[in-house]
Amino acid sequence: MRHLVWFRTDLRVADNPALYEAMAGGARVAAIYIDCPGQWRRHGNAPIQRDFIARHLSALSERLALLGVSLTVLEADTFAEVPALLAQWVAQQGIDALYANREIGINERRRDRAVQQALAIPCRVFNGDCVVDHGSLTTRGGDMFKVFTPFSRAWLARVRGSGYRLLPVPAAQGAPVPAGTTMLEGERRCSAAWPAGEAAAGQRLAAFCAARLDDYGERRDYPAEAATSSLSPYLALGVLSPNQCLAAMEAELGQLPFSRGERGFSWLNELIWREFYRHLLVVFPRLSMHRAFKPETEALQWSRDDELFRAWCEGRTGYPIIDAAMRCLHQSGWMHNRLRMLVASFLTKDLHIDWRRGEAWFMSRLIDGELAANNGGWQWAAGTGADAAPYFRVFNPTTQSERFDPDGDFLRRWLPELAAVPAGAIHAPHDWLDRHCPGHGYPPPVVDHARARRHAIAMFDALKDRE
């Protein structure tokens, strides 16, 4: 028997259900990854993430080689060509069954259905990206939860009752084989600031749990500090699994925290947010199709001001916290969660620009770009998503900056033109700059926040008038 494992967003050998099951029965196992550069461009993913994937593939290839499994990278321009390519490969190699972990985007699901139809062999698909499988948590009426809190209660009850499944690295199927080459063609941007491979991800996870779990709840909103795990790029590509995160927490704490106030609960809660958005994407395919979760918000009258959009993208809005965050994204490919919330709120509620433009911009820049979390975060901030918060809750960029970067350390890191501004003036620096640094060049605020907020609320009120 010959089994083929098709790696996608699960670039790891540990806790990988598809690999584990494929290797469990004594069959001879080979592995492939199919690069689709045209699909990549269509999805608008970031060149830095492409580089990160290429580096992980090389690490994965080496780890698989030690298990006696050879990884081949094939290329198909778009998903449409994948079924024929796979059918040919399977026939050439004499494969008896295909193993893969599920991907949840609508295009990925369509591709997988087409693959199943094109292949005359069994295709076995597993849950490798969530602790609790998609679709298995429902309300009493059998529907998916539409708000987070009841979902998280159900998730916690399930994990408390049934635990979670952590699979070991499979036993080698023989002597090591040479590691295959894993080059990816196309546009890439250097991701070297992020160490690649499962071992690096595991070290980061262990170091975070040992040093930061305890104060995560208190410090996680301060972007100048390294108080969060920075594991999102690894979770997004499946280099790390959420089960591994739970296991590391449990090893550190002795047990998992199941209620608010227990050590580590705040971090577990973020992992549950991750699963919430993934479960939503499976049940509501429209979220993969640039559509609002709340259909009535499709009627919102967004601004088409391209100049304001460019100012936001380039970090030239005159609001330091927004500009520092956007320049950080541009230069590093990553952004802190509090800042993602602030810049998303600013684009939609201060500039009144469609959340879809911000979502796409993030995707084209983020090393951790991931459809479910990105779409969920954007729709949450825009007031169009699965969220219990009222639409009139609009972040004030200046008071948020004062609160979460009180000394201005984060601002100074990314805005060299504010290097000399004292902490008391840095959150709204224009008066100070005009007095002390004439000709400073830092732009004036592109909008008046109070007026922009009123306009945003009026936009949403207008929806009610239509009902």
- Residues in contact with ligand FAD by CB under 6 A are 220, 228-232, 235-236, 270-271, 273-274, 277, 336-337, 340-341, 344, 362, 366, 368-370, 373-374, 376-378, 381
Question: Residues 229-264, buried b or exposed e (16+ Cβ, 10 A)?
Answer: bebbbbbbbbbbbbbbbbbbbbebbeebbeeeeebb
Which is closer to ligand FAD, CB of 61 or CB of 228? Answer: 228
Minimum distance between the CB of residue 236 and ligand FAD, rounded to whole angstroms? 5
Q: Running DSSP on this structure, what letter comes out for residue 32?
A: E
3-class SS at 180?
A: coil
Task: Classify residue 467 as exposed, middle or buried by CB count within 10 Å of its CB (0-12, 13-18, 19+).
Answer: exposed
Q: Distance (Å, rounded) from C-alpha 165 to C-alpha 242?
A: 10
The verdict on whether 432 is a catalytic residue reads no
Q: Which of 127, 269, 337, 396 is catalytic?
A: 337
Residue among 377, 385, 380 at smallest CA distance from 361 = 377
Beta-bridge partner residues of 33: 7, 73
Q: Running DSSP on this structure, what letter comes out for residue 122?
A: -
Q: How far apart are the first and last CA of the chain?
A: 61
User: Which residues make up each annotated binding site for FAD?
Assistant: 216, 228-232, 267, 270-277
Q: Which of 194, 361, 378, 380 is catalytic?
A: 378
Q: Alpha-carbon dihedral of residues 38, 40, 46, 51, nearest 10 degrees?
A: -90
Q: Which of 62, 270, 402, 417 is catalytic?
A: 270
Which is closer to ligand FAD, CB of 29 or CB of 46? Answer: 46
Minimum distance between the CB of residue 435 and ligand FAD, rounded to whole angstroms? 36
**Cα separations (Å) of 447 from 47, 350, 405?**
32, 7, 22
> Which tokens in the block code for residue 225?
């500090």
Is residue 264 within 8 A of residue 38, CB to CB? The reply is no
Task: Classify residue 346 as exposed, middle or buried by CB count within 10 Å of its CB (0-12, 13-18, 19+).
Answer: buried
Minimum distance between the CB of residue 10 and ligand FAD, rounded to whole angstroms? 15
The verdict on whether 273 is a catalytic residue reads yes
The verdict on whether 62 is a catalytic residue reads no
What are the percentages of helix, strand and coil residues in the chain, rounded to 5?
55, 5, 40
Chain residue at closest Cβ approach to ligand FAD? 377
Minimum distance between the CB of residue 247 and ligand FAD, rounded to whole angstroms? 15
Q: Which of 302, 402, 417, 432 is catalytic?
A: 302
Which is closer to ligand FAD, CB of 228 or CB of 241? Answer: 228
Per DSSP, the residues of 309-370 read: HHHHHHT-SS-HHHHHHHHHHHHHS---HHHHHHHHHIIIIIS-B-HHHHHHHHHHH-TT--
Which is closer to ligand FAD, CB of 59 or CB of 272? Answer: 272
Which is closer to ligand FAD, CB of 73 or CB of 335? Answer: 335
Strand order of the β-sheet with 97-101 is 71-75, 28-35, 2-7, 97-101, 123-126
Beta-bridge partner residues of 124: 99
Which is closer to ligand FAD, CB of 250 or CB of 270? Answer: 270
Which is closer to ligand FAD, CB of 152 or CB of 182? Answer: 152
Which is closer to ligand FAD, CB of 95 or CB of 366? Answer: 366
Minimum distance between the CB of residue 234 and ligand FAD, rounded to whole angstroms? 8
User: Which residues make up each annotated binding site?
Assistant: 216, 228-232, 267, 270-277
Minimum distance between the CB of residue 220 and ligand FAD, rounded to whole angstroms? 6
3-class SS at 28?
A: strand
Q: Running DSSP on this structure, what letter comes out for residue 224?
A: T
- Torsion sign across C-alpha atoms 205, 60, 17, 74: positive
Q: Which of 355, 361, 380, 414 is catalytic?
A: 355
Q: Distance (Å, rounded) from C-alpha 8 to C-alpha 34?
A: 8
* Residues ≥6 apart with Cβ < 8 Å to 318: 430, 442, 443, 444, 445, 446
Minimum distance between the CB of residue 279 and ligand FAD, rounded to whole angstroms? 12
The verdict on whether 355 is a catalytic residue reads yes
Minimum distance between the CB of residue 351 and ligand FAD, rounded to whole angstroms? 14
Q: So which residues are the catalytic ones?
A: 270, 273, 302, 337, 355, 378
